[in-house]
Amino acid sequence: MQQPLEAKPKRIAVVGLGAGGIATLRAFSGLPEDVRPRIIITAFDDRESVGGLWVPQDDVPEPPALPKTPLYPGVRTAGPHPGMTVPNVPFEPETPLLAPRDAVLRYWQRLHNDSLLSSTRVLLQHSVLSANWKGSSSMGEWHLTYIDLTTNVTATKVFDHLIAAPGVNHIPYSPPFAGQEEWLHQDSRRVLIHSMWYRNDSIFHNRTVLVIGGGASGLDVARHSGRSAKKVYWSRRETSLSLRFFNAPTGVESVPAFSHFASDAVHLSNGSALPQVDFVILATGYQVRFPFLTAGGVLDEVDSDSPQPDDHLTTNARYVHPLYEHTLSLDQRYPLSALFFIGIARNDPTGIACYAQALFAAHTLTQPSLLQTRLQLLSALKAREDRVRADSGVEPGRNGHKIDSGYGARAGYDADGPYQDLLVHSLRELDPSLAGQSGIPRSGFNYTERWRRSASMNSLQVMYGWHARLVNEGEGLDGWEGDFVRGVRSEADYLDAVSRFVEWWEEHKDSVTASSI
């Protein structure tokens, strides 16, 4: 049974109003009516509107100044959006299965507007500079220092709980490749940038381009650069999923993993060289860092090879430790439920995963009896990390917050069930009265519906086929995209659209230029 809160209201800070922060507001808005009046939420975001990285930025700064978002015109979701949503909140009717950026932004903004409690205060264009815990392992307060970006006025506000949800696509990871300075200095026309600064293919005009990285951004940059570059090479590691499932786009040559720079050429892992390359773009991902926590002495930054202690929070730019299920800080310097992270997990559908984390945070924060002891939770974390080692063959500190290791088969979740189910079902097991409450399924039902698993299993086919048709036939609801989503409104409708497209693709993929993605 939901326990009453203490007489004193809980003051909660939410940092970030992208998917993680909005899912958090959604979870708190669904708490029982007798609980909601006893929580006071203040949400901070440094953008001019909610939506996180989906909010466009027109004035992209030159390196090394960081853009507010890495997204570029024409970007689509990395998979079919029906599997990425918060439960029972589908995209607006007739949204293409690979949703355009503006449709994704409208989705999260609509969810935000529907998830505000009367006591919630939203501070846009307010950047949190530091979060400092003042107290002990049993009691204390968070002191958040923030700046109003419209006035440059700095202030400090006090909270009982902190939920960090700023996203992890803000600080680019640029590997320190050997010889890069020598390569750059040899010819002033040479360029080396991270894909975070990429906005349109005009920068590649008459260039010989090397794209390094096999993820979604690497695929997009390789595809777009081929429209204006003289020549494009796409470098991927042998372990890259894209190498297994995606041919190089038309006009793009797939090459082995990158090795190093030299003054006369870029070199690949097979010993070959590309002397003609004069533009290198790194689609190499982002660092897992939270500068406002580090500035407040809450999150230490350590080297990638350094051991991460169990008694206080550290990040090696890949992995924050110790976090229970990528969500709850187990740092001994403050009470359990003082600090949560939302949206840090990778390789899991955004909406349903963030909402599961947020449900866990909302219920354990307002009902602390749902939490085991710190020692028990740390033991569970250690067991999970052992599973990661067994599944992936690498240390958790290198694997990072990927959910495809340590949680069973990526598509079938044959081990303990989906990551998000473990979080939500644990609440129901500890307090059966939560079954059927907002976001928590009734007894005997799974948080992750079966159709979502089907959508996840078909995501690569949809991504591959949809991009192939976009290149060959263009975009727009008045054409082929509309054939699959016209009249579609509900989650069931969208699942049917996924099934129809997969069926079409299986029948026609041999006649479509598969390499045209």
Please, which residues bridge with residue 266 across strands? 261, 274
**Which of 17-21, 137-141, 417-421 has the weakest average pLDDT?**
417-421
Backbone angles phi, psi at 339, to 5 degrees: -140, 125
Residue by residue, DSSP assigns 57-87 as -SSPPPTTSPPS----TT-B-SS-GGGGSPT
Q: Does residue 75 register a pLDDT over 60?
A: yes
pLDDT digits (tens, 9 = 90+) for 96-114: 999 999 999 999 999 999 9
Distance CA 161, CA 335 (A): 10
Q: What is the pLDDT of residue 223?
A: 87
Q: Which two tokens stand for residue 418?
A: 């989906």
pLDDT-based confidence at residue 415 (cuts at 50, 70, 90): very low
H-type alpha helices, 458-490: 459-473, 480-485
Owner of token pair 């533009």: 279
Please, which residues bridge with residue 209 across strands? 232, 279
- Above pLDDT 90, what percent of the chain? 77
**Which of 60-69, 171-180, 244-253, 407-416 has the weakest average pLDDT?**
407-416
Ordered structural domains, the chain, with CATH: 10-170+287-384+394-406 (3.50.50.60), 180-282 (3.50.50.60), 458-516 (no CATH)
More confident residue, 56 or 511: 56
Q: Any idea what the Cα angle at residue 338 is, between residues 335 and 344, rounded to 5°? A: 130
User: Strand, coil or helix: what is 163?
Assistant: strand
More confident residue, 371 or 349: 371
pTM of the model: 0.94
| Of residues 307, 322, 300, 336, the one with CA closest to residue 381 | 322
Within its chain, how far is the Cα of 347 from the centroid? 8
pLDDT-based confidence at residue 418 (cuts at 50, 70, 90): confident
Distance CA 360, CA 336 (A): 13
Other C-beta atoms lying within 10 Å of the C-beta of residue 306: 12
- Above pLDDT 70, what percent of the chain? 95
More confident residue, 453 or 262: 262
Q: What is the pLDDT of residue 1?
A: 43
Q: What are the CA-CA distances from residue 13 to residues 8, 20, 23, 25 (Å)?
A: 16, 13, 14, 11
Helix axis angle, 459-473 relative to 491-508, nearest 10°?
A: 70
Task: Return mean pLDDT, the chain.
Answer: 92
pLDDT digits (tens, 9 = 90+) for 274-330: 999 999 999 999 999 999 999 999 999 999 888 999 999 999 999 999 999 999 999
Q: Does residue 460 register a pLDDT over 90?
A: no
pLDDT-based confidence at residue 406 (cuts at 50, 70, 90): low
